[in-house]
Amino acid sequence: RVVLRLPLISGLVENGQTAVFARTLGTMIKSGVPMLRALAVAADALRNRAMSGAVHACATDMREGGGLVGSLGKSGLFPELSLRLIGVGEQSGQLDTMLGRVADIYEAALQRQLDRVTSLLTPILTIVIGVVVGGLILSVIGAVVSVNELALQ
Angle of CA points 55, 77, 91, to nearest 5°: 65
Domain ranges (residues) in the chain: 3-122
Fold of 3-122: Receptor-associated Protein (1.20.81)
Question: What's at 94, amino acid-wise?
Answer: Q
Q: What are 72-85's pLDDT values in tens digits?
A: 999 889 999 999 99
d(CA 36, CA 79): 21
Q: At what angle do helices 95-152 and 80-92 cross, to 10 degrees?
A: 160
Whether pTM exceeds 0.75: yes
d(CA 77, CA 2): 12
Q: What are 8-54's pLDDT values in tens digits?
A: 788 889 999 999 999 999 999 999 999 999 999 999 999 999 999 99
CB 72 within 8 A of CB 86: yes
